[in-house]
Structure 1
Amino acid sequence: MSRPLNFAVFGHPIAHSLSPQIHQAFARQFGIELQYRAIDAAPGEFADAVRRFFRDEDSRGANFTLPHKSAAFALADECTQAATRAGTANVITHLANGRLSAHNTDGAALVRDLTDRHDLDLRGHDALLLGAGGAARAAAWSLFDAGVQSLTIVNRSPEAADAIADAIGEPSRVHTRYWEDLANIGSFDLIVNATSAGTLGQSLSLPFSLLGSRATCYDLGYGKSAFGFVAWARAAGARYAYDGLGMLVEQAADAFELWHGKRPDTEPVYQSLRVQAS
């Protein structure tokens, strides 16, 4: 009898991760037996931990969350366009030839959650992206590809925001502003929070003037890490304020499909997790 294949998510900390629960739920849809565990690896131990995991021939794939997405990208032997654009990876697949292939599903998952689950047509939107880390880079490319009318990127370190805009190379649609100017840059009908403030327990102190009428606000985090931004959005009068739970489920579905060749039904898993979180 063949042994179940091994998968994992690496992070630091990682005990809060819902990924094992999500992947087991997906596997049950197809009658697949697998092992999926959460591995806490400090940055200094990360590379050795990943190599040790993939030395097992039954270890076929892994996900990566904070603070390891850039390090995961650097470990890979080959990278997809999405990973290269973001400079980070949240998925690595162990290929049959022993090579590690990196992918980034964050941006596609964000857009799918907004458009498919929340019925938002991104075309024509003036979007504000807060943050310029790996998650923000993935989000920026996918929002641009999805047809937003304009994308303004604001980060506390302006050089990182400028690097994203320069990489996309469409100055008429994608540009940057200084964080100190947030109160004076106008209003937006889509605001995406890709900063790590919530995860670090910090507040953003954003001005209400950023919200246009009927604005949608979205935090890439979920649970407690998204609470502050979502509460601000509701207080500011946003028409919709979402956390990133749906994005989490969608990026997991992309990884599952890469590894198993089967596309899971994400909605029942999302609804189950939403009930647990309420």
Structure 2
Amino acid sequence: MDQYAVFGNPISHSKSPAIHTMFAKQTQQAMEYGVIEAPLDGFEKAVGEFIHRGGQGANVTLPFKQQAFALADQLSEAARLAEAVNTLSFNKGRIYGDNTDGKGLVADLKLQGVTLTDARILLLGAGGAARGVIAPLLSELPASIHVANRTEQRAVELAVQNPSSKLVASGLDNIEGEFDLVINASSASLAGSVPSIRGPLVADAVCYDMVYAATVTPFNLWARQQGASRTIDGLGMLVCQAAESFAIWRGVRPDVNPVMQFLRAQMTQSL
């Protein structure tokens, strides 16, 4: 049976095995999907061992996305722009690297009924999460994307890497304008905190946190308090980016809706 896995450290919490197992059952694909906790200094060796055991593809999560980028023999345009890889494919001794995070975000936003064309978007953060979604967001032809980061220079560098007249960059304390969509891609969410921006910026906007949780994330709770018209967390992005990986490997696109509903119900029951 075809073998796939997700690499990370730590990785025991990953929902990827459940997601891909549901995808495989739904699409009648003969495959198994496991987890591999690679040593922090042994990612390349762990991938090599997995390939030797017959592995055909893998997902990559923290802290190995940059190492996967360096390991790949061939990169997709999305991976090149993101400078990070979350999907590996192994074929005839070569390693192909892709990044499905941006496509996953865009797919979830569309599923949620969020209009991206002509939208005024505020993207909080300029790290790996933000790098992975800039190009797919631009491809949806928004009116503008304002990238704001605690260190302004990093936001500027991200804009330079993705040249577009629609991109604006600034520090978190220097954001101006009104926005239709605010996306939190900052590391603050991982720490359970909120980016230090002025509240009125999110008023009447749809606010999207890339982090997901059984309860409302700190960012989305704050956004609601500031008058956001709607808040969405990143569970759908997780499932949609997995569906993109699955399609790369198996050539078939699964239905994400029942998987999202199952995971949401499971998380709610765990409270």
TM-score normalized by structure 2?
0.93
Residue 173 of structure 2 is aligned to residue 180 of structure 1: yes
Amino acid at match of 1:41: A
Q: Which of these residues, 121, 136, 146, is aligned with residue 140 of structure 2?
A: 146
Q: Which residue of 2 aligns with 1:65?
A: 61
| Whole-angstrom distance in 2 between the partners of 1:191 and 1:242 | 10
Structure 2: segments with no counterpart, 5+ residues: none
Instruction: Tell me how far 1:225 sits from its aligned partner.
Output: 9.7
Instruction: Tell me how far 1:224 sits from its aligned partner.
Output: 6.2
Instruction: Tell me how far 1:201 sits from its aligned partner.
Output: 3.4
Give the conservation status (yes or no) of the 8 Å contact 1:199–1:225: no
Q: Which residue of 1 aligns with 2:73?
A: 77
Q: Which residue of 2 aligns with 1:264?
A: 254
Residue 190 of structure 2 is aligned to residue 193 of structure 1: no
Structure 1: segments with no counterpart, 5+ residues: none
Give the conservation status (yes or no) of the 8 Å contact 2:123–2:184: yes
**1:185-214 Cα shifts (integer Å, max 9, x gaps):** 23321111111222233443432111142x
Over 3 Å counting, the alpha-carbon distance change for 1:77 and 1:135 in structure 2 is same
RMSD over aligned Cα, in angstroms?
Answer: 1.7
> The residue matched to 1:37 in structure 2 has which SS?
strand
Correspondence 1:1-278 to 2 at 5 A = 4-56=1-53, 58-95=54-91, 97-115=92-110, 117-170=111-164, 172-182=165-175, 185-213=176-204, 215-223=205-213, 227-278=217-268
- What percentage of residue pairs aligned between the two structures are identical? 41
Amino acid at match of 1:174: L
Give the conservation status (yes or no) of the 8 Å contact 1:194–1:220: yes
Aligned length in residues: 268
Deviates more, 1:222-231 or 1:246-255: 222-231
Instruction: Write out the 4+ residue segments of structure 1 that deviate beyond 4 Å after TM superposition.
Output: none
Give the conservation status (yes or no) of the 8 Å contact 2:203–2:229: no
Instruction: Tell me how far 1:217 sits from its aligned partner.
Output: 0.7
Give the conservation status (yes or no) of the 8 Å contact 1:78–1:101: yes
| Whole-angstrom distance in 2 between the partners of 1:43 and 1:131 | 25
| Whole-angstrom distance in 2 between the partners of 1:243 and 1:272 | 16
Deviates more, 1:145-154 or 1:27-36: 27-36
Give the conservation status (yes or no) of the 8 Å contact 2:203–2:226: no
**1:218-257 Cα shifts (integer Å, max 9, x gaps):** 1112116971111111111111111111111111111111
Amino acid at match of 2:139: D
**1:142-191 Cα shifts (integer Å, max 9, x gaps):** 11111111111111232321122112212x31010112324xx2332111
Give the conservation status (yes or no) of the 8 Å contact 1:124–1:147: yes
Amino acid at match of 2:192: G
Give the conservation status (yes or no) of the 8 Å contact 1:220–1:226: no
| Whole-angstrom distance in 1 between the partners of 2:161 and 2:216 | 28
Instruction: Tell me how far 1:45 sits from its aligned partner.
Output: 2.0
